[in-house]
Amino acid sequence: MPLLVQPALARGSLASAPQPTLEVPDRRLVLRPWRSSDAEAVREAYQDPAIQRWHVRRGDSVAEVREWIDAWRATWAEESAGHWAIAAPDAEGGTVRGRMALKRLDLYDGVAEVAYWVSPAARGTGTCRAALEALTRWAFGTAGFHRLDLEHSTANPASCRVAVASGYVLEGTRRAAALHADGRHDMHLHARLAEHTRITEEA
């Protein structure tokens, strides 16, 4: 049946080019595609109780984490998600500081969902907000998305703070929407719209 509207993003508009590395302005950080060699850093991050709690996973071995990384990398070609490491530039050692992702890519509506964690040692200095701003600007600018969702448990005030401070407006609470290790959690739904974001530079 013919579509009556033009999809927001054409199929192939992301996967026709390699997954980009994004600069994080005013920080010595980049968002870059994950590498197999990041597996130990990811395994280590997933020892953190807060990452386990909010991402509902453990990483028990480097081999197992390498499989996740392979799966994260494969999502770009499928245009189902984009997964980036928040890392120091290679010239400064390339150390992983965290993760940024665009999940649930809906090219037709131009909607995706952001997700993140920051390694314990890198927290509390604005790393997450700066990295989220870089991803948001690329998603609205170069990629052409219209709306980005951000969900977190109502029991996770740090994530709520990041969302609000990053211009992701609280739209409501999805009751009992997500299963965690201690049961179902109410989830705040935040979102940011492209039309509320002035893109002043090409990402």
β partners of residue 187: 153, 174
Interacting residue with ligand COA among 46, 84, 116, 145 (CB under 6 A):
116
| 18/49 with CB nearer ligand COA | 49
Residue 9 or 189: the one with the smaller Cβ distance to ligand COA is 189
Q: How many residues form the binding site for ligand COA (CB under 6 A)? A: 21
In the chain, at which residue ranges do the beta strands (DSSP E only) sit? 22-24, 29-33, 82-87, 96-106, 111-118, 147-153, 169-180, 183-193
Residue 2 backbone phi and psi in degrees, to 5:
-65, 140
**Site stretch for ligand COA (CB under 6 A), options 5-13, 105-113, 156-164, 176-184:** 156-164
Q: How far apart are CA 173 and CA 190, in angstroms?
A: 9
The one segment of 18-26, 57-65, 71-79, 118-126 that binds ligand COA by CB under 6 A: 118-126
Q: Which stretch binds ligand COA (CB under 6 A): 47-55, 59-67, 87-95, 190-198?
A: 47-55
- Min dist CB 6 to ligand COA, Å, is 33
Query: Which candidate, 101, 93, 85, 91, places its Cα nearest to that of 42?
Result: 85
DSSP code string of 147-181: EEEEEEETT-HHHHHHHHHTT-EEEEEEEEEEEET
Q: What are phi and psi of 55, to 5 degrees?
A: -115, 0
Interaction of residue 148 with ligand COA, rule CB under 6 A: no
Q: Determine if 123 is a binding residue for ligand COA (CB under 6 A).
A: yes
Token pair 């893109």 is at which residue? 199
From candidates 34, 72, 117, 140, binder to ligand COA by CB under 6 A: 117
Token duo for residue 158: 């740090």
Q: Which stretch binds ligand COA (CB under 6 A): 11-19, 134-142, 158-166, 169-177?
A: 158-166
Q: Does 174 bind ligand COA (CB under 6 A)?
A: no
Q: Does 118 bind ligand COA (CB under 6 A)?
A: yes
What is the rounded distance in angstroms from the CA atom of residue 34 to the CA atom of residue 31? 9
Phi, psi of 75 (to 5 degrees): -70, -25
Q: Using the minimum distance from each CB to ligand COA, give the nearer residue, 75 or 119.
A: 119
Question: What x-and-dash track marks residues 124-143 binding ligand COA by CB under 6 A?
Answer: xxxxxx--------------
